[in-house]
Amino acid sequence: MKAKLGQNFLADETVLQFEAEEAAPAGKSVLEIGAGDGRLTTKLLAAGAGHITAVELDPKLAKSLRMKFHKRVSVVEEDILEFDAQSRYNIVAGNIPYYITTPILLKLAGMNFDRAILCLQKEVALRMAAEPGTHNYGRLSVFSQLVFKLEVLALVPKEAFTPKPKVDSCVISLELTGAKLAQKHEKVIGAIFSHRKKSLKNAVVDARQELFGSSDKDAAHAVAQKLKYAERKVFTLTPAEALEVARKLC
């Protein structure tokens, strides 16, 4: 096992079957992220997947996948973050390595698919789904809820993996909302949410270098105090309100 590749394989047959059933891949095109040794691939094929594009970075695993699957599966030996995802897929599925979860979510936001069924770290799933004003609510929550229609489907205990990781996971469903979050707006949201417990006014002043490229505190304060939600704590802003602020500051 290569820890650097995040290879904690989902071994629980019940969870694998659950993922395949939720994906409902019968007759559909599937993009599988990190196919590993083909455990989920097998379940997706058994569920009637029309064609699977299995992306796997590890050369040995990619070779094994090619030997194991001959029909309805195309194996691509590549980093999913470098994969050309211009094609449209009905379903995206995968057990996501913890260390690249956020970059994969950013990748998915720019893709074209109907539904994604993913298994990822529980902490990340809870942050994605968190409500404004709660402990877990932050930059990732805003991004996820603007770009995706998100549903947490099931808790997956760490014992379901081999080797066993230190944390539990969740299976989630994602559908694109159609909203596109511009990089400049995402940057602004990230900057103010790095001061999430402060008022928006104070967060803007504290993040002035990142937001405006200036250390001029008075100028930043002059802008900040005119904002619609200036006195609100940043972490109470809804995703729509956070985007409204970002557009104003841009």
Q: Are residues 149 and 200 in the same domain?
A: no
Boundary (domain end) residue, out of 126, 149, 176: 176
Q: Are residues 126 and 245 in the same domain?
A: no
Q: Are residues 100 and 218 in the same domain?
A: no
Please report the pLDDT score of residue 85 as a whole number.
Answer: 87
Q: Are residues 91 and 126 in the same domain?
A: yes
Bigger pLDDT: 97 or 216? 216
Mean pLDDT computed over 23-29: 98
CA 236 to CA 249: how far, in whole Å?
18
Q: Are residues 116 and 83 in the same domain?
A: yes
Percent of the chain with pLDDT over 90: 94
Structure tokens at 247: 């557009």
Q: Are residues 170 and 223 in the same domain?
A: no
Model confidence at 70, in pLDDT bands (50, 70, 90)? confident
Quick one: 71 exposed, middle or buried, by C-beta within 10 A (0-12, 13-18, 19+)? exposed
pLDDT at 5 over 80: no
Please report the pLDDT score of residue 6 as a whole number.
Answer: 54
The secondary element (H helix, E strand) that includes residue 241 is: helix 239-249
CA 188 to CA 212: how far, in whole Å?
10
Mean pLDDT computed over 113-121: 97
Phi, psi (deg, nearest 5) at residue 8: -105, 105
pLDDT at 4 over 80: no
Q: Are residues 214 and 105 in the same domain?
A: no
Mean pLDDT computed over 83-88: 92
Q: Are residues 11 and 123 in the same domain?
A: yes
Boundary (domain end) residue, out of 158, 176, 194: 176
Per residue in 126-163, pLDDT (tens digit) is: 999 999 999 999 999 999 999 999 999 999 999 999 99
Phi, psi (deg, nearest 5) at residue 88: -95, 135
DSSP 3-45: GGGT--EE--HHHHHHHHHHH--BT-EEEEES-TTSHHHHHHH
Instruction: Please compute, for residue 115, the number of CA atoms within 13 A of its CA located in the half-sphere on the CB side.
Output: 13
User: In total, how many domains does the chain have?
Assistant: 2
Q: Are residues 41 and 100 in the same domain?
A: yes
Q: Are residues 45 and 163 in the same domain?
A: yes
Residue 139, domain extent? 3-176
Residue 62 backbone zone (phi > 0: left; psi -120 to 50: alpha; other: beta):
alpha
Return the CATH number at 120: 3.40.50.150
Contact at 8 Å (CB) between 181 and 147?
A: yes
pLDDT at 2 over 70: no
Per residue in 171-180, pLDDT (tens digit) is: 999 999 999 8
Model confidence at 99, in pLDDT bands (50, 70, 90)? confident
Residue of 249, 136, 110 lying closest to 187 (CA atoms): 249
Please report the pLDDT score of residue 1 as a whole number.
Answer: 37
The secondary element (H helix, E strand) that includes residue 212 is: helix 208-212
Boundary (domain end) residue, out of 133, 158, 176: 176
Mean pLDDT computed over 198-213: 97
Q: Are residues 160 and 48 in the same domain?
A: yes
* pTM for this predicted structure: 0.92
